[in-house]
Amino acid sequence: MKTFKPIIAPFKKYNSIGKEELNAAQEVIRSGVLSKYIGASHEDFLGGPKVREFEALCAEYFNVKHVITVNSWTSGLIAAVGAIGIEPGDEVITTPWTMSATATAILHWNAIPVFADINPYTYNIDPKSIEKNITPHTKAIISVDIFGQPADLEEIMFIAKKYNLKVISDSAQAPGAFYGNKHVSTIADIGGYSLNYHKHIHTGEGGILVTNDDDFADKLRLIRNHAEVVVDGRGSDNLVNMLGYNFRLGEIECAIGIEQLKKLKKIVNIRQEQAQEITSGLSKLEFLSTPIIADNRSHAFYSYAMQLEKNERADRDDLLNILANKGIYLGKGYQNIHLISLYQKKVAYGSKGFPWNSAICKRQVDYSKGICPVAERLHDFDHFSFGMCIYDLNSKDIKYIIDSFKWAWSELKI
């Protein structure tokens, strides 16, 4: 094989922030009201005017009854697990192919993460594996719409109803994607989206929680804003998981979010069109599997995920190395959360293995390699992805990507 000198990625970095966001932020700064939250039973418990406006606009956009903004999607996940009434020692099933916060939000409430395997084509949690992992201690499922494709929510909700479980939908990477005629995340008991800087729309950091349940919405707002003192002012005797935090998103971020929300549909449409063009251009390359969009769903394409099928001519590392010589840097596999040290050593709170090595953990939960064979194989050998969230691509860039793949196939003689 020839030796090539790597080049710098030729694509413009993605940046959805424009004059509209600058003007909105300046307006808030001039007002002097950068935050208006009060952690007490008070009219400002729900925040200032921009927080309320952004939440109302998101509720209308996503066609959901309640929207609660938070200062990160990690905060949102923690609040969601608390709001559904998880008890210490309860088990919550989730996917190993996700950002670590999906699982640590479970541990936060001293509950036990259990990992189910993934679908080899959509990369989302496999409902059949969910059902196999249900025990008498299971209380909830956290599904993840990985790379921007909705999980199999219809089947997941069916399983949840069958076993009386709650469902949280982690749609951090999928705002603007649909399951049928509904926005992803609005089907679950609680769902939401990330507003982190490399998502479709962003406020730097932040998150949006969505729910149609009045009780869950109230608990999410309490956990977001110092629940432990606010409940007394309400005369409430329900103190379950009323450990409150400062998970509040500020006025500047919400003002930016208002402008970003206006751009979401266009951004997602562009990524869908570009992904379709890439798929069409790569369709004849042998051994390459491009994204499969499941029936009755739309894909937001946070990432463009692929697999190189096993063959005798080249492996994944060969391909990634040679494409890097064209300035196209691809992510290799995706992290398997169950294999990180925290779960392998079962050390989280303190040094004694809590909560696993304690009375609240009702059984030995297995995190050994082999429990999620599909996820592990894809990570180790087959899967790679192009971060569409990173770049502001144009038609010339799309052609460059397609031509570079074809060049790589020629060089590798695949």
pLDDT for 414: 85
For the chain, how far is it from start to end, CA to CA, in angstroms?
A: 13
Q: In the numeric block, which tokens belong to residue 266?
A: 């266009």
Residue 13 DSSP code: B
Residue 354 DSSP code: B
pLDDT for residue 5 is more than 80: no
pLDDT class of 4 with cuts at 50, 70, 90: very low
pLDDT for residue 294 is more than 80: yes
Walk me through the domains of the chain, giving residue ranges and CATH numbers: 19-262 (3.40.640.10), 264-334+374-412 (3.90.1150.10)
Percentage of the residues of the chain whose pLDDT score is greater than 90? 93
Q: Which residues pair with 193 in a beta bridge?
A: 208
CA distance 317 to 321: 6
| pTM of the model as a whole | 0.95
Map residue 325 onto helix, strand or coil: coil
pLDDT class of 2 with cuts at 50, 70, 90: low
**Residue from 393, 407, 151, 124 nearest 276 by CA:** 393
Q: Are 199 and 73 in contact (CB under 8 A)?
A: no
Q: Are 283 and 159 in contact (CB under 8 A)?
A: no
**Residue from 113, 82, 76, 111 nearest 95 by CA:** 113
pLDDT for 234: 79
pLDDT for 236: 74
Average pLDDT, the chain: 95
pLDDT for residue 255 is more than 90: yes
Q: pLDDT, tens digit, for every residue of 38-76?
A: 999 999 999 999 999 999 999 999 999 999 999 999 999
Map residue 50 onto helix, strand or coil: helix
Q: Are 355 and 405 in contact (CB under 8 A)?
A: no
Map residue 300 onto helix, strand or coil: coil
Average pLDDT of the residues in 240-263: 97
Q: pLDDT, tens digit, for every residue of 361-412?
A: 999 999 999 999 999 999 999 999 999 999 999 999 999 999 999 999 999 9
pLDDT for residue 8 is more than 60: no
pLDDT for residue 3 is more than 80: no
The b-or-e profile of 41-56 (16+ CB within 10 A means b, else e) is eeeebbbbebbeebbe
pLDDT for 6: 47
Q: In the numeric block, which tokens belong to residue 34?
A: 């950068």
CA distance 227 to 83: 11
